[in-house]
Structure 1
Amino acid sequence: MTHHLSTEIAVVGAGVIGMAVALRLRAQGHEVVMIDPNDPGAGASYGNAGTIADYAVLPVGTPDVLKNLPSLLFDRNSPLAIRHAALPTLAPWLLRFARQSLPAAAARNAQAIAALLANATRSWEDFATEIGGAALLQRRGCLYLYETARAFRAAEADMAQRRRLGITVELIRPEALAAMEPGLPAVEGGAAYFPQAVFLSDPGRMMAYLADAVSRAGVPHLRHAITRLSRQLDGVVLEGQGLRLHARRVILAAGAHSRPLAAQAGDVVPLDTERGYHVEWAMERPLLSRPTCPTTRGFYLCPMSGRLRVAGTVELGGLTAPPAAHRIARLVAGARAIFPDLGAPTRSWMGFRPSMPDSLPVIAASARGPEVIHAYGHGHIGLTLAPITARIVADLVAGRPPELDIAPYSARRF
């Protein structure tokens, strides 16, 4: 039996972006429904490192990454790796990624990321208060850990670039690091300290607060997988098994699952999938007090409520393959290289990040008309950018100029 429904605005996707958008639009008086076959916030919105990463202004693709790309992609233990079976379908994305890693493109992309991140911390403080989750925001900053003196010296140019993009960062020596994080083993290099960064002590719980706020605002959650989008003279029809929904407006916020619907809306977008992993150890006191990224290892050590989460690495490999056991093993081995006394992990997880070749999200009206608005492709900073993405989408729905120039985030930029 197929349910025939209608609404003013349909938000496809119930991750942190979709929920933030639905809540914002409902607060502005719109009739909104949210469509997702899974529990709200169940994917990458839950499984991330929990950082509100206002410092993450550099794209994944940079000249240094481009120089090392072959060895990175084809080393199965690299922080940036590829499932070999996925190479034929990923080749066009990788070519675009290589072009976007050239100096001029990477510098332009960094400026566009920095513009989105400019008020990320304040936006999240307001957002967490709105949804009742302010107690989960930890204001202790974030560390990039350099295990060798050579890596610490090399970080100076990286941090200088971040400062030029408006980021506050301090390079600290091993003695100062030891005073800040006595649970970390001694390192030869030091760390970069981002004092203005905040993090969530429990991303899953924050998603539960957000889902509850969306529900209390009167936004229904339809548990369907949308497989077809078609434009009509008076709006858009969304179809999935057991559902046919007519909406005057559709917001595509389905993360890594957004590309087929974007194409049906008339926008061919080079979106692909990063498979992200985390491993957790249950512990009353999680060994350190702020997220810490050992930079050469490509993951974060994340102190969370009742556990240490080790999250990160990039594996390009699509939406269908099962988790790779060697990627989980790599996280475990990396964590034990920092904390040798860690025993067996309590649990592991894999989820999907929506990845664009230039590390910029797509936040824009469709080229075919404003009945469809894109809001996906945030890569590693979807959690961070949820509040500002919601504000931009609300401005587009209302016909207002957004608070910043959104031309860099167009669906047509490729």
Structure 2
Amino acid sequence: MSNEENMIKEALYYQRGISGKEAEKELLILERRELSEKEIEEFIKKWGGSYSSLFCYRLSESFFYPEGGGQPCDRGSIAGAELLFVEEKDGELWQYTEADFPEGAKVLCKFDTDFRRWQSENHSAEHIFSGLVTQHFPYKNSGFHMECFGGNPHMTVDFDGEFSEKELEELEQGVNAVIRQNLPVREIYLEGEEENTSSERKEGNISFRQKKALEGDIRIIEIPEVDSCACCGTHVSFTGEIGVFTILSYEKHRKGCRLTMLAGELAFLALEKKLKLLSGFAQSLSRPWTEIPEAFRSLQEKIFEKEEEKRGILEAGIRLLEEKILKELKERRKEIKTLFLGSPLQDSCFSYYGKNSYLFLYLSDLGMKDLQKICDRLRLSLPLSLICLGKKEEGFSVVAGSKEEDMRAFGKLLGEKLSFRGGGQKEMIQGSTGVGFREMNAFIERIL
């Protein structure tokens, strides 16, 4: 996380271990400003919500933590009104609420101690992780974001390189080892430094990471023998306060990777929930949770066997259907040019309806992949265009194919008459339509 310019060394939001009444303070409103309609629209577009009016205030002390560098601002209240956002502009903090207070008024300010603690636990854990990466890999931290509120708390960290599964496991274990050592998390301030654009920097005996060019006063967060990094975020006092750290997921991202992780109380709650789910899954399998991988492999094998069986049945069904249609076509007199097979489609397991040079197949239990397989197979052997329909909650899945006809033109016709949405190539198209059987049969009778 990068340091913001002109951070205030004595800011109240840097005080650690705050709880109870310490998390509230009566402050003076030094300046008040009402946002214009255009500013409110921009605020809503960026942060969500719905507001008819918004006000921002400059308070007598730096009490609330401002958004910056990947860490969201504090949650809290001003005189009972919800704190919507906190930002720093030109070295001054501005607090946003819907409530209107006059300049010079004294207001009771409170911040959410749990939310502040969650952010501090996760931010310190991210420093440990990034510090270990810097020690053992030639990668740089290229992005950081935290979300410690809502139903899916997490933080994401981007690196300009990739890790193996074993390396991630070792890094996760390394972070938890540092947490157990209960090392101090120190603040160091460098005053009035000139701009430096390198990702690593040394001032006197102090060497530290930085993610962008910094100038002015610099705040450094140091964890002895683990990490030293320029940072404006909130942190715990000792690594032991974090408790636990876990990597939630890993994915390739741009030219490197993105790690989703969690630490502290939020990680403990997430791991507890995961363990309960695993225990419930194990109980349903009548196996101890330690044997879940083996049980899962067994289930996968059974599913594969069922899929193989299903594919065999499908192949046999396609052959029978092909034979039946070809036989029926052959039995018809050659002088009858109008094709008519089956009867109007019905909501049953299988039905077919053909007219002119089109054959509609309704296959209620099959998904899109199976429909594509059937259509691709039969369109090559049948002297007509084929439209395979599958069941959806509303309407049909549609796959249409032909050996001769350009089905993209047919798709356009479906779009005009049946609100078909989809696409494909000349030989075969796929998509869906929301109409029912009555509309589909009427389309066949009227158009074809």
**TM-score range relative to shorter protein:** under 0.3
Q: Which has the larger radius of gyration?
A: 2
Greater RCO between the two (CA within 8 Å, min separation 6)? Answer: 1
